């Protein structure tokens, strides 16, 4: 009879241990369920932000294709969007669904269009020099060899033999009339000396469009510096003229251009070819879209998405 209390104590302890185990399982289930619910909410927000980004992108294309253009900007009356977008990669903000949209539009006419660089590459060479401090004596000749249809190398050039034998690549020179993408440029001898970080900086100023021109009013600072060389006081005067009188700014800009071939490519109005950068933020969820597009009213396809990601 004396063992009954100890047996009761053991039974109580066992019940308590089982209860504790059940409570632990229940707590784990609650925590796991909460995490699953939180993850589901985050996934839903991400999907919704993506839908909002795509909707905002479509709305932006409509805005650009139907708007009225001035020297460096476009205006339109699209519900929920700003009434004016400056085409120099300047941020504008609006709402789409439950997402906050940040939109930047850069006129390709203000960048170096790799389809119309010319044979001497004056701007791209100065751009690389300004951004990285590097220069290459092989760039021009290798570029010409890359495009021409023969296998006869220029003095400092590079044809298929160089790419296949010297640097052990499976391909030779392109032998096409145009560069097809900015990344192709880096494959050419003289441009392949750039590091990954240097190329990322250079690429910010490169684009491609088969129907674009040049718009000096959309040039970022590095592009202006790649076209003209001025003293600090001349630069100050030039920027002052840009704020006060676009006509005087244009005339003064031309005064600093020496190469007549470069002058012929320059215009003072939007090209209707654009780089679009768009972000949709919904809570902690963020979706991004980057694209190059043409919106030309006089071609068979009014809207042409050149690249989208």
pLDDT of 289-299, one tens digit each?
999 999 976 65
pLDDT value of position 43: 77
DSSP E strands: which ranges in 30-145?
68-69, 73-75, 84-86, 92-96, 99-107, 112-113
pLDDT value of position 16: 65
Residue that wins the pLDDT comparison between 166 and 301: 166
Lowest mean pLDDT among 21-25, 62-66, 219-223, 242-246: 21-25
Q: Residue written as tokens 């300047």?
A: 90
Return the sign of the alpha-carbon dihedral for residues 90, 223, 112, 309.
negative
pLDDT value of position 167: 84
Per-residue pLDDT of 191-222, as tens digits, reads 988 999 999 999 999 998 877 688 989 999 99
Q: What percent of the chain has pLDDT over 70?
A: 85
Flag whether pLDDT at 136 surpasses 90.
no
Per-residue pLDDT of 82-133, as tens digits, reads 999 999 999 999 999 999 999 999 999 999 999 888 788 888 989 999 999 8
Q: Residue 4 CA to chain centroid, in angstroms?
A: 81
What is the overall mean pLDDT for the chain?
Answer: 86
- The pLDDT of 235-250, averaged and rounded, is 90
pLDDT value of position 300: 62
Flag whether pLDDT at 51 surpasses 80.
yes
Per-residue pLDDT of 1-34, as tens digits, reads 455 566 666 666 666 677 666 676 666 666 666 6
Contacts of residues 118-126 at CB distance under 8 Å and 24 or more positions apart, as own/partner, are: 118/261, 118/262, 118/265, 119/144, 120/261, 122/259, 122/262, 123/223, 123/226, 123/227, 123/262, 124/185, 124/226, 126/225, 126/226, 126/227
């Amino acid at each position: 009879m004396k063992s009954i209390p100890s047996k009761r104590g053991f039974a109580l302890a066992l019940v308590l241990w089982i209860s504790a185990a059940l409570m632990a399982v229940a707590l784990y289930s609650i925590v796991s369920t909460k995490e699953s619910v939180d993850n589901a909410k985050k996934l839903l927000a991400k999907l919704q932000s993506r839908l909002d980004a795509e909707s905002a992108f479509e709305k932006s294309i409509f805005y650009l294709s139907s708007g009225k253009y001035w020297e460096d900007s476009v205006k339109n009356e699209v519900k929920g969007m700003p009434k004016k977008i400056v085409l120099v990669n300047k941020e504008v903000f609006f709402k789409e669904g439950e997402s906050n949209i940040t939109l930047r539009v850069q006129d390709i006419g203000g960048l170096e269009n790799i389809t119309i660089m010319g044979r001497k590459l004056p701007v791209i060479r100065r751009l690389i020099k300004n951004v990285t401090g590097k220069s290459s004596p092989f760039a021009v000749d290798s570029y010409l060899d890359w495009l021409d249809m023969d296998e006869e190398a220029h003095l400092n050039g590079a044809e298929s033999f160089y790419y296949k034998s010297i640097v052990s690549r499976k391909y030779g020179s392109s032998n096409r009339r145009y560069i097809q993408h900015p990344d192709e440029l880096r494959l050419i001898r003289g441009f392949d000396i750039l590091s990954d970080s240097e190329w990322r900086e250079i690429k910010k100023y490169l684009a491609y469009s088969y129907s674009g021109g040049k718009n000096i009013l959309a040039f970022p600072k590095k592009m202006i510096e790649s076209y003209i060389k001025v003293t600090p006081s001349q630069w100050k005067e030039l920027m002052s003229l840009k704020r006060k009188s676009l006509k005087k700014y244009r005339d003064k800009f031309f005064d600093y251009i020496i190469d007549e071939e470069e002058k012929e490519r320059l215009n003072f109005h939007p090209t209707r070819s654009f780089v679009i950068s768009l972000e949709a933020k919904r809570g902690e969820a963020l979706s991004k879209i980057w694209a190059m597009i043409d919106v030309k009213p006089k071609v068979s396809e009014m809207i042409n998405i050149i690249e989208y990601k």
